[in-house]
Amino acid sequence: MPGPVPNGVNIISAMSDPVYPLRCVLARRNPGLLVRDLAAATTDLDQLVSALGDPRTYLSGSRTDAARDQAKIVARQLRRISRRLYVGPCGRVRGHSRLGRFVSVHDRDALDDGGLGALAREVAYISRALRKAGPWSGASMSVRDSSGQNTATHMGEIGQSLQAVLRATVLDLTAADLTGIEPGEVYGISAIWASGTVWPSGMAQRVRALSREVGPGVFRI
């Protein structure tokens, strides 16, 4: 297992991507539940993006309504998650000796949700746009093409950009106790972890095999 995280290591710089810079976010409490909820939101957003890129979504009223409902679900999920996050690593804010430690109430003005609240608003805009793009809308022919293909291409690209934003959000699990989660509940999320992370029995080796080192003693899955 990796050793402790060195004080002051710049995780954000170590994991930076030239196109979509990564943001490290920290659960205020109960990181295991947050992992479950973020994994579910990621899966639901993937399903929404698939629908947005399908021309049939804009030619069938029932498909349009289903996509709208999916967008509303994802927006609600992201709003709930955003209220339970801090941006990290918080060690750079208050000088904590380890990355991933829970921060005090006094840190709330300095740390935010990593942009997930704004992402939720963008997904909500998609829901409203779909109301105008469906065949039952009187405005539908003015906002989409007759085959739905061009609309699907445009909306699909928007959805993919939102996926990229969510994938750039990385959970800081370097000091999290995750003993209550199931292996399948981490599917689709991005996270950093270290020796302070407590995984469910039998899961640590699997996670290690799927991870890469992004800093001294810090791994990303």
pLDDT digits (tens, 9 = 90+) for 30-56: 888 888 999 999 999 999 999 999 999
Number of neighbouring beta carbons within 10 Å of residue 197: 23
Beta-bridge partners for 170:
24
Give the model's pLDDT for residue 145: 62
Q: What pLDDT is recorded for position 20?
A: 39
Residues 90, 92, 98, CA angle at the centre, nearest 5°? 60
With a cut of 60, say whether residue 108 has pLDDT above it.
no
What amino acid occupies position 82? S
Q: Please state the rounded mean pLDDT for residues 117-144.
A: 76
pLDDT of residue 137: 56
Predicted confidence (pLDDT) at residue 142 exceeds the cutoff of 50 = no
CA 12 – CA 14 distance, rounded (Å) = 5
Among candidates 191, 198, 220, which has minimal Cα distance to 208?
220
127 pLDDT above the threshold of 90? yes
**Would you say residue 92 has pLDDT above 70?**
no
- Is the pLDDT at 148 greater than 60, yes or no? yes
Beta strand ranges found along the chain (DSSP E):
23-27, 85-88, 169-172, 191-193, 212-215, 218-220
Residue 218 has pLDDT above 80, yes or no: yes
Task: Give the pLDDT confidence of 192-206 residue by residue, as tens digits.
Answer: 888 888 888 878 888
- Out of 7-21, 63-77, 185-199, which region has the weakest mean confidence (pLDDT)? 7-21
Q: What is the pLDDT of residue 160?
A: 94
The answer to whether the CB of 120 falls within 8 A of the CB of 58 is: no
